[in-house]
């Protein structure tokens, strides 16, 4: 690389060089100060810091914007005017930045300047006519100003561009229209997306019947993967609200094949030919709780029917140590049912099968204890569902324990459990 030597002989040349160096230093100082003020103001958490940065870079819109936001957050009435002035300064310095005009529009509205607020929001609309957030802000302002129809035109356009806004749009419409769901659908549309948003809204309000109705109006779309979280939330809340038939219908519709829900008045996997999960079991599957006793698993040795049976191995002295083994089922209120199945036993101690009300856990009926039985024997219990519930729990329980110390040991095999209406 060739070395370039600048000849600085002569006063004029030295003066020009000195001026150039000073200009460079001034530019470095100016841009360094600007960059420093911009960076600090963006991370400031006190308005005094942001205002100090304004002094370093008064023509930087970021410093004014940061000061405006921080003054607004104090909720001090004296700071409101300062915040508005800083928003005005930020917008003036960035006349083509729609974000500055959006913020200014909100600030003017808070200050009671309706005309100025609309002017700022319209300016943001001109700068970013296709941005959903701009339409959303302007639509909300129109609604708050009493121009509801015009506002919802903007809201619908915002939702079309940003579907995440649909749930807050549905919530706002329900509040403004006093819960008149027909008016809401007429305003927002009776589409799958709107009904999904309404289902989510009603779930948040624990209005389960309305949520399920909106969910059903979605039709076959409930099977779409994007709506699976909504369906799972629906199932969980319906079950928590003791609406087991609706929970079963929801689960079945999500699955699309009914494999996860045997149907109303039926038990799932009673022949134990499908795996029994030790964790993450679904609502209407066999649920095995935590704990070491009894050991639970699928056995291939001498099943009653098919290839497998359920084997439980007990070895404990305490009645309270028995881990839960249960299944929830949806049933028709007031209907009589029979639960029957087969067992083999090498037990020393008492275990029985119990049916309880799923809504409050109160027992409805209990089988005789599964005593020693070398060959498969049938068991059968009958019960009537209370009129106040549509769910039952089938569970294995200790039997014959009169104190907390209640030894039990040995093996129990269960197979081909079924439930049917009488």
Residue 140 lies in a domain: yes
Residues 149 and 237 in one domain: yes
Residue 338 lies in a domain: yes
Residues 231 and 97 in one domain: yes
pLDDT given at position 342: 97
Residues 324 and 189 in one domain: no
How far apart, in Å, are the Cα atoms of 34 and each of 27, 317, 364, 371?
Answer: 10, 77, 77, 86
What are 2-42's pLDDT values in tens digits? 555 555 555 655 554 455 545 554 444 444 444 544 454 45
Residues 230 and 319 in one domain: no
Residue 411 pLDDT class (50, 70, 90 cuts): very high
Q: Which residues span the domain enclosing 328?
A: 287-421
What are 156-172's pLDDT values in tens digits? 999 989 989 999 999 99
pLDDT given at position 17: 46
Residues 230 and 340 in one domain: no
Residue 227 lies in a domain: yes
Residues 74 and 223 in one domain: yes
Provide mean pLDDT across the span 122-133: 93
What are 315-367's pLDDT values in tens digits? 988 888 889 999 999 999 999 999 999 999 999 988 999 999 999 999 999 99
Residues 236 and 342 in one domain: no
Residues 120 and 229 in one domain: yes
- How far is it, in rounded angstroms, from Cα 199 to Cα 202? 5
Residues 57 and 184 in one domain: yes
Q: What's 342's domain CATH number?
A: 2.60.120.260
Dihedral pair phi/psi, residue 408, rounded to 5°: -150, 140
Pick from 255, 279, 302: which residue ends a domain? 255
Residues 238 and 297 in one domain: no
If DSSP codes are grouped into helix, strand and coil, which group holds residue 232?
helix
Q: What's 124's domain CATH number?
A: 1.25.40.10
Number of domains in the chain: 2
Residue 119 pLDDT class (50, 70, 90 cuts): very high
Name beta bridge partners: 396. Answer: 353
- How far is it, in rounded angstroms, from Cα 396 to Cα 347? 14
Residue 2 lies in a domain: no
Residue 345 lies in a domain: yes
């Amino acid at each position: 690389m060739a070395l370039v030597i600048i000849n600085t002989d002569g006063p004029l040349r030295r003066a020009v060089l000195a001026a150039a160096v000073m200009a460079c230093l001034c530019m470095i100082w100016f841009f360094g100060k600007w960059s420093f003020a911009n960076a600090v103001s963006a991370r400031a958490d006190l308005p005094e810091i942001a205002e100090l940065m304004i002094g370093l870079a008064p023509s930087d819109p970021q410093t004014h914007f940061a000061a405006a936001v921080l003054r607004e957050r104090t909720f001090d009435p004296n700071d409101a005017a300062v915040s508005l002035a800083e928003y005005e300064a930020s917008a003036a310095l960035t006349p083509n930045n729609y974000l500055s005009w959006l913020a200014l529009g909100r600030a003017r509205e808070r200050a009671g300047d309706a005309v100025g607020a609309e002017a700022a929001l319209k300016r943001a609309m001109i700068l970013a006519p296709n941005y959903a957030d701009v339409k959303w802000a302007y639509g909300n302002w129109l609604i708050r100003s009493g121009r509801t129809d015009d506002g919802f035109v903007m809201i619908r356009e915002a939702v079309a561009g940003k579907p995440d806004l649909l749930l807050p749009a549905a919530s706002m419409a329900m509040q403004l229209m006093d819960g008149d769901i027909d008016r809401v659908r007429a305003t927002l549309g009776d589409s799958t997306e709107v009904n999904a948003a309404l289902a989510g809204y009603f779930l948040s309000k624990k209005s389960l019947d309305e949520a399920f109705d909106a969910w059903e109006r979605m039709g076959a779309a409930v099977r779409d993967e994007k709506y699976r979280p909504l369906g799972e939330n629906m199932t969980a809340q319906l079950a928590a609200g003791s609406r087991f038939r609706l929970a079963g219908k929801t689960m079945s519709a999500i699955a699309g094949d009914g494999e996860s829900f045997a149907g109303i008045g039926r038990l799932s996997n009673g022949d134990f030919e499908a795996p029994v999960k030790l964790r993450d079991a679904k609502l209407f599957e066999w649920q095995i709780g935590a704990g070491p006793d009894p050991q639970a698993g699928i056995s291939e040795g001498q099943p009653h029917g098919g290839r497998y049976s359920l084997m439980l191995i007990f070895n404990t002295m305490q009645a309270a140590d028995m881990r839960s083994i249960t299944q929830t089922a949806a049933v028709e209120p007031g209907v009589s049912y029979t639960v029957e199945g087969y067992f083999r036993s090498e037990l020393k101690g008492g275990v029985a099968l119990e049916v309880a009300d799923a809504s409050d856990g109160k027992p409805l009926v209990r089988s005789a204890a599964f005593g020693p039985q070398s060959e498969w024997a049938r068991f059968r219990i009958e019960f009537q569902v209370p009129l106040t519930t549509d769910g039952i729990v089938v569970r294995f329980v200790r039997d014959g324990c009169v104190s907390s110390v209640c030894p039990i040991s040995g093996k129990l095999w269960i197979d081909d459990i079924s439930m049917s209406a009488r």
